[in-house]
Amino acid sequence: MTSLLQTVLAFVFALGVLVTFHEYGHYWVAKRLGVKILRFSVGFGRPLLRWRSGKDRTEFAIAAIPLGGYVKMLDEREGDVEPEDSHRAFNRQPVAVRAAIVSAGPLANFALAILVYWLSYLGGVTGPKPIIGTVAPDGPSAQAGLQPGDEVRRVNDHPVALWDNVLNHAIDAILDGEILYLAVKHPSHGERQVALDFSRFSIDDLSRGEFFDKAGFTPLRAHLPARVGRLIAGEAAAEAGLEVDDLLMAVDGKPIEDWVFWVETVRAHPGMPLSVEVERAGQRLTLELTPRAAEEGGQRVGRIGAEVARPEGADTVPMATERYGPFESLARALGRTVDVTRTTLKFLGQMLSGRASAENLSGPLSIAQYAGESARLGPSRFLEFLGLVSVSLAVLNLLPVPMLDGGHLIFYLIESIARRPVPEAVQVYGQQLGLFLLLGLMGLALYNDLMRIF
């Protein structure tokens, strides 16, 4: 229950921030260009809270359904307008003004992404160093010359400190079907360069969590005994009766080698009961435990809400922290926003061309799960999640589909070329078509969510 509440709160907070920034972009530019604002709403449906402010007595509202928002501007097409206010109606504005107001929403989401990435780099992101653990014989990595113990120092001449950095570059290489050049350093053999050919990979391999299997190597892992160090109240482990300091001995009759083996077993059994033999205070007992199903990277995995005990002197994975000063953090935040935008566009292109499966499309349920998981991993991971979704929202809204901001911009472009507005009937037909496409897209995304969960 605690985990579910955290997921819901993280999702509502994330969506509230994303929608507020987007709609405030429209609002801020419209106000400064002289358009009268009637209502600014975060959410749809019945208002839970509302008030009026400013000389125009603009109504601000927080509504019951937090799946979007809107800015209602004075418009002669939507109601009567007093003669003295007609010059402030949206439909009376020059095409450049209307285009600026419409494009301001997606631009605000790009600005939000830059802000959260800046905060993330400024605060520091901690994670495992990119060190190779095992290399599968005759796999692509072995053929390229990767060896256990190699630490990845640069990818395509870009310095990397964490596995996240390596995977971000790998995504681009997979989408482009390119070779990834890794500069690696081994404690015994010094630094050298290896080349991994990603032309045989697809983005579906990554979304299914098969990247390391396909690449033929695994990251370095800690070899820790499967002893419980901490339990999260209300999660599956605590509910099943596990206690701190329990030593996990066997699962469904199979000996548990170490904590990594246990984690992999739990992840592979979402929603499926496990018979777990534990040692507690010198006695053996058997517990029945069912991992909670969760979404991770487009994959359904098991979670139980337990952490490993880390005895002093235990074998651990070397960690690193990626942190920069204010100005370098800003430069990196700008670069990261550009990279995520480019990757998002490439991914959409592959989906439209059929090279990437539509199963990768995520809806509100998956986004809620990502929000909860990232919030549990800490502020820096939650900021990364916000940045990614903010860029995705900006790109989605700029697509040339009627009903979206990009569709309106296409109409304005046609108007500026033809020197007259697009006929009302054409706009109405376009809006209907756009609504049909969006509903279909939302239905597919929701279907994918349900298939992953159930």
pTM, to two decimals: 0.78
pLDDT at 360: 67
* Three-state SS sequence of the chain: CHHHHHHHHHHHHHHHHHHHHHHHHHHHHHHHCCCCEEEEEEEEEEEEEEEEECCCCEEEEEEEEEEEEEEEECCCCCCCCCHHHHHHCHHHCCHHHHHHHHHHHHHHHHHHHHHHHHHHHHHCEEEECCEEEEECCCCHHHHHCCCCCCEEEEECCEECCCHHHHHHHHHHHHHHCCEEEEEEEECCCEEEEEEEECCCCCHHHHHCCCHHHHHCEEECCCCCCCEEEEECCCCHHHHHCCCCCCEEEEECCEECCCHHHHHHHHHCCCCCCEEEEEEECCEEEEEEECCEEEEECCEEEEECCEEECCCCCCCCCCEEEECCCHHHHHHHHHHHHHHHHHHHHHHHHHHHHCCCCHHHCCCHHHHHHHHHHHHHHCHHHHHHHHHHHHHHHHHHHCCCCCCCHHHHHHHHHHHHHHCCCCCHHHHHHHHHHHHHHHHHHHHHHHHHHHHHHC
pLDDT tens readout for residues 178-190: 788 889 888 887 8
The architecture in CATH of the region 127-220+317-322 reads Roll (2.30)
pLDDT at 298: 57
Q: How far apart are CA 106 and CA 404, in angstroms?
A: 10
- Find tokens 């697809």 and name the residue: 202
What residue type is 349 in one-letter code?
Answer: G
The architecture in CATH of the region 228-308 reads Roll (2.30)
pLDDT at 175: 79
Residues of the chain with pLDDT under 50: 1
Question: Catalytic positions, please?
Answer: 23
Q: Of the candidates 144, 150, 138, which has an alpha carbon nearest to the alpha carbon of residue 194?
A: 144
Residue spans of the domains in the chain: they are 2-33+93-123+387-453, 127-220+317-322, 228-308
Task: Judge whether 127-220+317-322 and 228-308 match in fold.
Answer: yes
Contact 62, 45 (CB under 8 A): no
